[in-house]
Amino acid sequence: MSPSDNGVSRRRFLQGSGAALGGLVLSTWLPGFIPHSVAAEVTAAGRLGDQAPRGYGAYVRVGHDGLVTVISPKIEMGQGAHTGIAMMVAEELEVPLSSVSVEDAPPDSDLYADSLMQFQATGGSTSTRHSWQPLREAGATARLLLIQAAAARWGVDAAQCEAREGVVHGPAGQQLPYGELVDAASALPLPESVVLKTPEQFRLLGTPAPRLDTPNKVNGKAQFTIDLQVPGMLVASTLTCPVYGGKLKAVDASAARQVPGVRDVVTLENAVAVTATNYWACQQGLQALTVEWELGEHAGIDSEQLDAALHSASSKDGVVAHSSGDIDAALSGAASTFEAVYEQPFLSHSPLEPMTCVAQVRADACELWVGTQVPAFAQQTAAAVSGLPLQRVQVHNQLIGGAFGRRLDFDFITQAVAIAKQVDYPIKLIWSREEDMTHDMYRPHYVDRLTAAIDAEGKLQGWQHRIAGASVLARYIGSLPESGVDSDAVEVAIDPIYALDSLQVNYIREEPKAIPVSWWRGVGPLRSTLALECFIDELAHKAGKDPVDYRLALMGQHPRAQAVLKLAAEKADWQTPLLAGQGRGIAVSAVFGSFVATVVELEVQADKGVRIKRLVSAIDCGLVTNPTSVLAQIEGGTLFGLSASLFNEITLEQGQVQQSNFHNYRQLRINEAPGVEVHIVPSSEDPGGVGETGTALIGPALLNALAAASGERLRRLPLSRAGYFPVKGA
Amino acid sequence: MIQLSVNGTQHQLDVPDDMPLLWVVRDVLGLTGTKFGCGIAQCGACTVHLDGEAVRSCVLPVSAAAGRAVTTIEAVGQSALGAQVQQAWLDHEVVQCGYCQSGQIMSATALLQRQPAPSDAEIDAGMAGNLCRCATYTRIRAAIRDVDAGGAA
Ligand code: FES
Ligand code: FES
Q: Tens of pLDDT along A5-50? A: 333 232 232 222 222 222 223 333 333 232 223 333 334 468 888 8
DSSP state of B28: I
Contact check, Cβ <8 Å, A673/B135: yes
Nearest ligand to the CA atom of B44 = 1
What is the H or E stretch that residue A602 is in? strand A594-604
Distance from C-alpha of A663 to C-alpha of A514, rounded to nearest angstrom? 23
B98 lines ligand 2 (CB under 6 A): yes
CA-based nearest distance A630→chain B, Å: 12
- A window 643-682, beta carbon within 8 A of B: 643, 661-663, 667-671, 673, 675-676
Q: What is the CATH number of domain A3-215?
A: 3.30.365.10
Predicted confidence band at A73 (pLDDT cuts at 50, 70, 90)?
A: confident
**pLDDT tens digits along A187-221:** 999 988 899 999 999 999 999 988 888 999 999 99
Q: Count of domains in chain B?
A: 2
- B57 and B98 part of one domain: no
- B15 and B37 part of one domain: yes
The mean pLDDT value for B123-150 works out to: 94
- Is the omega angle on the peptide bond into residue A231 within 30 degrees of 0, that is, cis? no
Pick among B14, B81, B99 to test the A interface (most A CBs inside 10 A): B99
CA-based nearest distance B91→chain A, Å: 8
- B window 49-108, beta carbon within 8 A of A: 72-74, 77, 86, 89-90, 93, 95-102, 105
Q: What is the CATH number of the domain that holds B49?
A: 3.10.20.30
- B144 and B100 part of one domain: yes
Distance from C-alpha of A510 to C-alpha of B137, rounded to nearest angstrom? 37
Contact check, Cβ <8 Å, A352/B45: yes
B129 lines ligand 1 (CB under 6 A): no
CA-based nearest distance A377→chain B, Å: 22
**pLDDT tens digits along A259-279:** 999 999 999 999 999 999 999
Q: What is the CATH number of the domain that holds B82?
A: 1.10.150.120
What is the H or E stretch that residue A150 is in? helix A127-154
Last residue of a domain, one of B20, B48, B75: B75
Cβ(A352)–Cβ(A409) under 8 Å?
Answer: no
Distance from C-alpha of A103 to C-alpha of A85, rounded to nearest angstrom? 11
- Phi first, then psi, for residue A419 (nearest 5°) are -75, -50
B45 lines ligand 2 (CB under 6 A): no
- B127 and B112 part of one domain: yes
CB-CB neighbors (< 8 A) of A671 in chain B: 124-125, 127-128
- B128 and B142 part of one domain: yes
Last residue of a domain, one of B50, B75, B100: B75
Residues 6+ apart with CB under 8 A from B35: A224, A226, A352, A353, A401, B45, B46, B99, B100, B102, B103
Residue B59 alpha carbon, nearest atom of ligand 1: 2
Measured in residues, chain A has a length of 730
Cβ(B65)–Cβ(B51) under 8 Å?
Answer: no
Contact check, Cβ <8 Å, B37/A353: yes
Contact check, Cβ <8 Å, B99/A354: no
- B99 and B111 part of one domain: yes
The mean pLDDT value for A652-667 works out to: 98
CB-CB neighbors (< 8 A) of A676 in chain B: 138
Per-residue confidence (pLDDT) for residue A183, from 0 to 100: 93
- If we measure between CA atoms, which residue out of B73, B80, B94, B72 comes closest to residue B145? B94
In the predicted structure, residue A306 carries a pLDDT above the cut 80: yes
Distance from C-alpha of A269 to C-alpha of A246, rounded to nearest angstrom? 9
Q: Out of 3.40.50.460, 3.30.365.10, 3.40.50.2000, 3.40.50.12160, which CATH number does the structure's domain A304-345+443-727 have? A: 3.30.365.10
> Could you tell me the distance, in angstroms and rounded to a whole number, from the CA of residue A697 to the centre of ligand 1?
30
**pLDDT tens digits along A113-149:** 765 555 666 666 666 777 888 899 999 999 999 999 9
Contact check, Cβ <8 Å, B77/A628: no
In the predicted structure, residue B106 carries a pLDDT above the cut 70: yes
The pTM (predicted TM-score) of the whole model is 0.91
> How do strand A290-294 and strand A319-324 relate by DSSP bridges?
unpaired
B126 lines ligand 1 (CB under 6 A): no
Distance from C-alpha of A546 to C-alpha of B43, rounded to nearest angstrom? 42
| Count of pairs with CB atoms under 8 A, one residue in A, one in B | 178
The mean pLDDT value for A683-690 works out to: 87
Pick among B131, B138, B147 to test the A interface (most A CBs inside 10 A): B138
Distance from C-alpha of A422 to C-alpha of A363, rounded to nearest angstrom? 11
Per-residue confidence (pLDDT) for residue A213, from 0 to 100: 84
Distance from C-alpha of B54 to C-alpha of B72, rounded to nearest angstrom? 10
DSSP state of A219: S
CA-based nearest distance B60→chain A, Å: 13
User: Among partner residues B16, B95, B133, which is closest to A667 by beta-carbon distance?
Assistant: B133
Residue in chain B lying closest to A235 (CA): B27
CATH topology of domain A225-296+355-430: Aldehyde Oxidoreductase; domain 4 (3.30.365)
CB-CB neighbors (< 8 A) of A280 in chain B: 19-20, 23, 27
- B57 and B115 part of one domain: no
CB-CB neighbors (< 8 A) of B138 in chain A: 635, 639, 673, 675-676
Residue B14's domain comprises 2-75
The mean pLDDT value for A358-384 works out to: 94
What is the H or E stretch that residue A643 is in? helix A627-647
B32 close contact with A: CB closer than 8 A: yes
- B101 and B66 part of one domain: no
CA-based nearest distance A310→chain B, Å: 29
Contact check, Cβ <8 Å, B23/A279: yes
Cβ(A447)–Cβ(A468) under 8 Å?
Answer: yes
Per-residue confidence (pLDDT) for residue A126, from 0 to 100: 65
Q: Where in chain A are all domains bearing CATH 3.30.365.10?
A: 3-215, 225-296+355-430, 304-345+443-727
The mean pLDDT value for B69-91 works out to: 97
A57-61, A287-291, A495-499, A601-605: lowest mean pLDDT where?
Answer: A57-61
Q: Is the ipTM, as predicted for this complex, more than 0.85?
A: yes
- B137 and B85 part of one domain: yes
In the predicted structure, residue A4 carries a pLDDT above the cut 60: no
Last residue of a domain, one of B75, B91, B110: B75
- B94 and B130 part of one domain: yes
User: Among partner residues A229, A352, A639, which is closest to B99 by beta-carbon distance?
Assistant: A352
CA dihedral A136, A140, A141, A143 (to 10 degrees): 140
